[in-house]
Amino acid sequence: MKGLIELVITVAIAVALALLIQAFIVKPYRIPSPSMVPTLDIGQRVLTNRLAGNPSVGDIEVFHPPHGADFDNPVCGDPNQGGQGGPNAEACDKPTPQESSQTFIKRVVGVPGDTIKIVNGMVYRNGVLEKESFPIQCGDTPSCNFGKPIKIPPGYYFMMGDNRGASDDSRFWGPVPSKWLIGTAFFTYWPPDRIGFL
């Protein structure tokens, strides 16, 4: 009987530790869309560091987007921005104030205070073309071009998918406040042939 009680206590402690780790330190996520191809495929699974703090440009973040991302035609907090894009268009620099219940995963391309414009899907940060080897180019269609620079507000992060032509991201619904960030993806564990650090 004593052995059974010890086993039950050990299992209970192990389950509690696993739940605490997932809730506060490391959380797994499944990639739901092609927006991060070729870096992450649909169905691929990643681990997220929930203690990572403020992300840097190039980090892959899991987060809740603004409520404007919940619609088939995303909504920017400033109706004169976002939209379908174009060489003289501005990406959205003001999200809607409500947090969405959805969970997204994208790459950080702009941090607080940065000036961002997008030309042919490529990011110009503070006037300099970012050296990005990972994105799938999306060409010169309107949604790939937001040629008029915007400034990222304090405490916000501008997110884009690596598959620039097939990503619903900050271009359309705005930057993400730091309080809606969940964590930084740092490791992929499924499928087995893609295991490794990000």
Q: Quick check: bond before 112 cis, omega within 30? A: no
Distance from C-alpha of 128 to C-alpha of 116, rounded to nearest angstrom: 9
Determine which one of 106, 143, 167, 170 is catalytic.
106
- CA-CA-CA-CA torsion for 134, 52, 116, 89, nearest 10 degrees? 90
Helix ranges restricted to H, 54-121:
none
Instruction: Assess whether 106 carries a catalytic annotation.
Output: yes
∠ CA 163-165-166, nearest 5°, is 70
Instruction: Assess whether 35 carries a catalytic annotation.
Output: yes
Instruction: Tell me the torsion sign for CA atoms 49, 57, 79, 70.
Output: negative
Determine which one of 2, 27, 33, 35 is catalytic.
35
Q: Which residues are catalytic?
A: 35, 106
